[in-house]
Structure formats: C-alpha cells, structure tokens
C-alpha cells in the first residue's frame, strides 16, 4: 500500500507556467505497489484545496484498481502522471470503468505516463460487438463532465473496452495522445465522444482494434487535427440511431489526418430502423491521406452489424451539410467512395471535392457509388463520381 507525502508543501511553479502557490501532492510509493488508496487520498485533499493544486504520480510502475476521481473541486487540479499504472489483468466482467476523472472545472492531465488496461484476458470473452446482451467490460479512462480541461502527453495501451470516453465535456483539448492495442482486440475504440461541446483532439497517434475516434450522439463542435490512425476502424461519426433519446450531432471537423491500413476510413453510420429521429449536420473532412484503407469514404445509413436490426426500414437519422475534400491515397478495396443515404431521408447538401483514391487490386478499378444523394462536385474526382445511378426516395 502506498503512502503519500508532502501534503502541506507549497511549491512555486512559475517556471512551469503553473500558477504560483499551487499545492503539491506527490504519491510516494515503491514501484510495483498498489497506489489506488494513495491516489484517492491525494486527489481528495487536492480537490479540497482552495488554490490550484497538482497531484504527481512519479516514475515507476504501479498497480491501480478501479478509481473515481470526481469533483466538484474548490480550484483547478492538475494531475501529472510520470509513471505507468496497470489495471487488474482479470476479465473484470460486468465492470464499466477503470479510471474516471469527473465533474471538474479546470482539469489537466499530463506527464508522459501510461495507462495499461491489461486487456488480453478480457478480449477473449468480449461479445458486445456481436450482441445487445453482453456483459460490459471496463472502459480504461472516462472523462465525465469536465469543463476547461486539457489532457496532454498521455498514453493508453491494451484497454479492455474503449481506451477513452469523453462525456459531457465543455472546452476540452486532447493533445499528443498515444493509443495502442492489437488490431484484433474487440471494441477497443481509441477515443469515443458524445454529448460534449468544444473538444479538440490534436497531434495524436491511435492504433487499435476498433474505431480510432468515434463520435456518438449529442456531440457538438469537435475538431480533430493531425491524428494518425491505424490499424483500426478509422474515424467515424456514429453509429447513430441504435438507442432512443439520442441528441443531434453537429460541427465535426477532421483535418490533416492520416489513415493507414484501416478497415474503413472516414465514415458516418446510422442504423436503419432507428429508434429516434435526429439530425447529424455540419460534418467536414479535409486534407486526409489514405494508405491502403478499406472503404475510405463511407456514408452508411444501413449500418446493421450482426443483423441486430431490421434492414428493411429506412434510417430516420437526417444527414445534412457534409463535405469530403482533398482526400487522397490508396484504397485496400474497390469501394473507394460509397454514399449510401437513407431512402426515407436522402442526404442534403453533400459536397465532394478533389478526391484522388487509387486501387490496384485485380477486381478494380475503384468505384464511387451514391444512393439517395446528389452530391455537389467540386474540383476533380478520381474515381469518377457516382458511377452507379442516383436513386431517389
Ligand atoms: C478552455 O480551457 C482552457 C484550459 O484548458 C482555458 O485556458 C481557456 O480559457 C478555456 N476557454 C474558454 C473559452 O473558456
Ligand atoms: C493542412 O496542413 C497544411 C500544411 O500545414 C495547410 O496548408 C492546410 O491549410 C491544412 N488544411 C486545413 C484544412 O487546415
Ligand atoms: C445547412 O447549412 C445551411 C447553410 O449554412 C443552413 O441554412 C442549414 O440550416 C443547415 N442545415 C442543417 C440541417 O444544419
């Protein structure tokens, strides 16, 4: 069991750009020990501090059990994690989370540390991608209801389920995040976001078994820039419409990203027999490099994995004001561009500009299909746009 020292030490952090007189709480524990209780204690004290405070997890490798670090706190908190924290290597069936940072205004997490989810045993029992009825596995890091937050220089490896989940954030920046898990690890989305407003994901590298970034319902104003994704299932908005009570998605921008060896590239997916009727609008992808990506550009309003829905019903999710511009590179299959919109609600205002996607397989060349959409074409398209007939509802 770790102890923690230095509760009353007052440090001046001017050189680090941190406000003066921040209170410092350092976890003092030998490498290999379990710091769950020590971290909870340090955080609780820091949260009570009337001035800005900082919790430091030093270099080393520590065990960390399920933990919730929640405010509200009296002043901003910075957590500097220099070492590696490791989760329990058992399956943790039925648990929904490992580490939670929640309900804090003025939150920083940084330090170059690593969250190791030890997911190997759990991946073998995960069936949530195949059925509605499955036992949950813990998400590695949950960021719940953070305001004015910054997560920087942090790695996540081998999550049992999603690596990071952002819910209810307002004004949050994630910069230089590194996410790694094997290509065949199920449901290990890199960063999933929903019901948040004003999140940036910058300069990050995500290699995992599911979506690199997935955008859930209620997401507003997401800016993704300079993210390298792969292997993984690409960057996706959705799936939307699986559950009732969903909220609109709007203001999604993905620019200057690279996708390499991913299954799907840039994707918007909605379930056909949607349980709700929402709108996803103002979604823009620009300056994207593709390296051997399957299904590089895909709007799929008949998303129905494992036949968990009625494909005969048209999706009731409305898609509008969407653009794909300056997207270039190589496809791993012939389906370079597929815009499959809902029969019930054809996509509105879709712009396609300067697409240059090559496919060199024997069943080529690359194709560009559209249904229930008449995209506005700008610049040049290769392959030629909408080689299949445009059908109307
Ligand atoms: C957003 O959060 C950052 C801290 O991460 C802060 O510096 C900035 O002032 C906030 N912006 C607004 C508009 O509140
Ligand atoms: C992508 O980066 C290039 C080079 O820095 C820049 O010129 C371009 O404007 C960026 N694209 C977007 C959409 O911002
Ligand atoms: C699409 O953009 C136009 C022009 O900016 C705007 O008037 C319209 O409300 C937008 N549609 C949706 C569904 O957001």
Tell me whether residue 32 is in a domain. Answer: no
Any atom of ligand 2 within 6 Å of the Cβ of 197? no
Tell me whether residue 22 is in a domain. Answer: no
Any atom of ligand 2 within 6 Å of the Cβ of 325? no
pLDDT at residue number 329: 98
Confidence of residue 275 (pLDDT cuts 50, 70, 90): confident
Nearest-atom number in ligand 2 for the CA of 286 is: 13
Confidence of residue 94 (pLDDT cuts 50, 70, 90): confident
Any atom of ligand 2 within 6 Å of the Cβ of 256? yes
Residue in the structure block whose two tokens are 């205002």: 349
* Number of compact structural domains in the chain: 1
At residue 10, does pLDDT exceed 50?
no
Q: What is the tens place of the pLDDT at every residue in 188-204?
A: 999 999 999 999 999 99
Tell me whether residue 82 is in a domain. Answer: yes
Percent of the chain whose pLDDT exceeds 70: 91
Any atom of ligand 3 within 6 Å of the Cβ of 125? no
pLDDT at residue number 54: 97
Q: How far is the CA of 148 from the centre of ligand 1 (A)?
A: 5
Nearest-atom number in ligand 3 for the CA of 321 is: 1
CA distance 240 to 263: 19
Q: How far is the CA of 287 from the centre of ligand 2 (A)?
A: 7
Q: Which of 123-132, 158-167, 360-369 has the lowest mean pLDDT?
A: 123-132
Residue in the structure block whose two tokens are 């898609």: 319
Distances (CA, A) of 373 to 111, 299, 330: 47, 10, 24
Tell me whether residue 51 is in a domain. Answer: no
Contact of 244 with 273, CB cutoff 8 Å = no
Tell me whether residue 79 is in a domain. Answer: yes
Name the residue among 132, 128, 137, 157 with its Cα closest to residue 92.
137
Tell me whether residue 58 is in a domain. Answer: no
Ligand 1 atom 13 nearest Cα: 171
Q: The domain that contains 250 carries what CATH number?
A: 2.160.20.10
Q: How far is the CA of 286 from the centre of ligand 2 (A)?
A: 9
Both tokens of 222, joined, read 């997401």
Contact of 126 with 138, CB cutoff 8 Å = no
pLDDT at residue number 19: 47
Nearest-atom number in ligand 3 for the CA of 279 is: 13
Tell me whether residue 341 is in a domain. Answer: yes
CA distance 253 to 171: 15
Tell me whether residue 48 is in a domain. Answer: no
Nearest-atom number in ligand 2 for the CA of 326 is: 13
Give the domain extent around 325: 66-391
Q: How far is the CA of 343 from the centre of ligand 1 (A)?
A: 42
Confidence of residue 387 (pLDDT cuts 50, 70, 90): low
Residue 28: HSE in the Cβ half-sphere, 13 Å Cα cutoff: 7
pLDDT at residue number 137: 92
Q: What is the tens place of the pLDDT at every residue in 242-268?
A: 888 899 999 999 999 999 999 999 999
Tell me what the mean pLDDT of segment 107-111 comes to. Answer: 98
Confidence of residue 391 (pLDDT cuts 50, 70, 90): very low
φ/ψ of residue 389, rounded to 5: -60, 145
At residue 181, does pLDDT exceed 80?
yes
pLDDT at residue number 17: 39
At residue 273, does pLDDT exceed 80?
no
Any atom of ligand 2 within 6 Å of the Cβ of 286? yes
CA distance 325 to 252: 14
pLDDT at residue number 276: 80
Tell me what the mean pLDDT of segment 15-42 comes to. Answer: 82
For this structure, is 233 an active site residue? yes
Q: How far is the CA of 95 from the centre of ligand 1 (A)?
A: 33
Both tokens of 256, joined, read 């200057």
Percent of the chain whose pLDDT exceeds 90: 81
Q: How far is the CA of 150 from the centre of ligand 1 (A)?
A: 9
Helix or strand run (H / E) with residue 180: strand 170-180
Any atom of ligand 2 within 6 Å of the Cβ of 287? yes
Confidence of residue 389 (pLDDT cuts 50, 70, 90): very low
Q: What is the tens place of the pLDDT at every residue in 214-248?
A: 999 999 999 999 999 999 999 999 999 888 889 99
Pocket mutation for ligand 1, best pick of 17, 105, 148 (most atoms within 8 Å of C-beta): 148
Tell me what the mean pLDDT of segment 34-42 comes to. Answer: 97
Task: Please state, rounded to an integer, the average pLDDT across all residues of the chain.
Answer: 91
Ligand 1 atom 10 nearest Cα: 148
pLDDT at residue number 21: 60
Ligand at minimal distance from the CA of 349 is 3
Ligand 2 atom 3 nearest Cα: 256
Rounded to 5°, the CA angle 370-319-239 comes to 95
pLDDT at residue number 304: 84
pTM of the model: 0.93
């Amino acid at each position: 069991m770790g102890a923690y020292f230095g509760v009353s030490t007052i440090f001046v952090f001017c050189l680090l750009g941190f406000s003066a007189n921040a209170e410092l709480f350092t976890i003092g524990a030998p490498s290999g020990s379990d710091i769950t209780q020590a971290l909870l204690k340090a955080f609780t004290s820091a949260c009570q501090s009337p001035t800005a405070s900082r919790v430091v997890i030093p270099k080393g490798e520590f065990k960390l059990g399920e933990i919730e670090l929640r405010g509200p706190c009296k002043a901003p908190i910075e957590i500097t994690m220099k070492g590696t924290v490791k989760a329990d290597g058992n399956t943790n069936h039925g648990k929904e989370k490992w580490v939670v940072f929640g309900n804090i205004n003025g939150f920083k997490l940084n330090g170059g540390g690593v969250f190791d989810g030890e997911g190997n045993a759990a991946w073998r029992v995960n069936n949530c991608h195949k059925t509605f009825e499955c036992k949950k596995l813990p998400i590695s890091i949950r960021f719940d209801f953070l305001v004015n937050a910054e997560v920087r220089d942090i790695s996540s490896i081998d999550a049992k389920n999603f690596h990071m989940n952002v819910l209810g954030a307002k004004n949050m920046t994630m910069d230089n995040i590194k996410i790694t898990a094997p290509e065949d690890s199920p449901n290990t989305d890199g960063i999933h976001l929903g019901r948040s407003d004003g999140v940036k994901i910058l300069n990050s590298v995500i290699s995992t078994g599911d979506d690199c970034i997935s955008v859930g319902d209620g997401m507003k104003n997401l800016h993704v820039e300079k993210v390298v994704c792969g292997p993984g299932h690409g960057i996706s908005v959705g799936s939307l419409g699986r559950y009732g009570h969903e909220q609109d998605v709007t203001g999604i921008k993905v620019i200057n990203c690279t996708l390499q060896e991913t299954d799907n590239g840039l994707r918007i997916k909605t379930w056909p027999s949607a349980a709700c009727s929402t709108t996803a609008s103002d979604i823009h992808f620009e300056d994207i490099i593709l390296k051997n990506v399957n299904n590089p550009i895909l709007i799929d309003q008949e998303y129905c994995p494992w036949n968990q829905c009625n494909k005969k019903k048209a999706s009731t999710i409305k898609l509008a004001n969407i653009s794909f511009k300056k997207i270039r590179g190589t496809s791993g299959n012939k389906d370079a561009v597929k815009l499959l919109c809902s029969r019930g609600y054809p996509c509105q205002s879709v712009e396609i500009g300067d697409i240059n996607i090559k496919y060199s397989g024997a069943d080529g060349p690359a194709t560009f299909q559209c249904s229930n959409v008449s995209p506005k074409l700008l610049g040049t398209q290769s392959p030629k746009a909408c080689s299949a007939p445009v059908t109307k509802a």
